[in-house]
Every structure is written in structure tokens, then in C-alpha cells.
Amino acid sequence: MIDVDLAVAQHEAYVAALRDAGVTVVMLPALRNAPDGVFVEDTAVVLDTVALVTRPGAPTRRCEVDSTAAALAGRRTVHRMDAPATLDGGDVLRIGGTLVVGLSQRTNREGLARLAEVAAMDGLHVRGVDVGAGLHLKSACTLGGAELLLLHEGAIDRGALRGLPVEIAEVPEAEGANVLAFADRVIVSAAAVRTREVLERRGLRTVAVALSEIHAGDGALTCLSLRIGATHGPVA
């Protein structure tokens, strides 16, 4: 059971942490009857000059995409996705010129192919990776820095990530695999105490944000925002 009041307070603290990191935060209007709308990352993939508004894998979430498309209009050239393709933004991780795309419960090969078409407009390539456990790719790995990929132990076959321009560091907690990295800090779930220790031993400054109710809804740090022009590339 999710404590809604606590979830709201945690979301507000998350927004405050982004602003403290120097991020300009644009809040979208609340959508009635779309409780998962807080996980806005799943509704689009934002690249350099283009954005792909997705067709989420959960049918109940498809009512969210028009709101995201309207917010992105004027910021990027917006493209759409049609059936039978499905894709959640939480399955897309940009590493340099490659989009690593999780083939998961929510993202299929048709979605991967549509993203490849749009990504090519910005000179980017895609690489599909099977996600055997967890809801999304970014439930298992995210960037802890421009050249550091945090990976939950045993979550993904490391061979599928071979050749990417990053060092892979395994972290002991699932909550620690999903972080938001900036030039001077890494925002980490407060639940990932041991992961924070791993990062701090590397000389990185960490900022903890409590996310217990977000985690209870299968969410994490990246799920709650779409990053445009973030420190380590538009898709973190």
C-alpha cells in the first residue's frame, strides 16, 4: 500500500533536489485518472534535435502521451509511435552515441525499430539488450558519470554492454542502480546506503533522496522526470 501523502512529500523533495543541482524544472499539469503519470520518463525519449513520444507498454498509460508531446513541442521535433510498437522511456539509456534499449515487459522489437528510425535523425545508433528481471532497463543500470555505468549485480548480461565507452561498476542494491548524475553530484535513493559508499569511495559526492513510496510503485529516480540537455547527454 502506498502512502499517498508521503509519496507527494517525497516527490516534492525530489524536485527540490533537482533545483538544488541547478536544473530548471517544468511541472506538467496533473492528469486525472492517470496515477502512473508521475513516472513521466516512460512517455518520451528526448534526443538532440528530436523526441519520440512513446506508446507505453501498459495500455492504461497511453492517455499520458499527448500531455508530454505538448510540453515537448517547440523544444524538439516530435515524432510518434504506432501499434504494434511499444516502448517505455525507462528502457532507454544513452551512452555516447548509442542508445541502449531494454527489451522488456514494456518494450518490444517494433518499438526498438521505431526508436532506431528516429535516433538516426540525430546520428545515433541503438543496441537492444534483453531485460530478464525488473520492470525496465534503468531498473538495472544508469550512468553514475559520463564514463561510469552503475549495474546491479547479476541484473543484465555484461556481455551485452561490451564495447561501450564506459567503466562498469557493479552496485549491491537494486535501488542503487538507478541514479541521476550531474557535474558535481550524484543523486541516489536513500535506500541505497551501500551504493552511496561505493560512489563516495570513488570520490563522488552523493545526495540522498527518500523514495520509499516511489519504489513501492515500481519507480525510481529517473522515472520521475524527462531530462532535456542534461549534463551527460539528453537521455540519462
Angle at 149 between CA 39 and CA 97, to 5 degrees: 85
Please say if 223 is a catalytic residue: yes
Contact 188, 170 (CB under 8 A): no
**Cis amide linkage into residue 84, ω under 30° from 0:** yes
Report the 3 state secondary structure along 26-60.
CCCCCCCCCHHHHCHHHHEEECCCEEEECCCCCHH
Q: How far apart are CA 222 and CA 213, in angstroms?
A: 15
Q: How far apart are CA 164 and CA 176, in angstroms?
A: 21
Residues recorded for the chain? 236
Out of 79, 136, 152, 232, which one is annotated catalytic?
136
Cβ count near 232 (within 10 Å): 20
Calculate the CA 78 to chain-centre distance. 19
Out of 79, 141, 152, 223, which one is annotated catalytic?
223
Half-sphere exposure of 140 (CA within 13 A, CB side): 23
Do strands 180-181 and 167-171 pair parallel, antiparallel, or not at all (unpaired)? unpaired
Calculate the CA 187 to chain-centre distance. 13
Just list the catalytic residues.
Answer: 136, 223
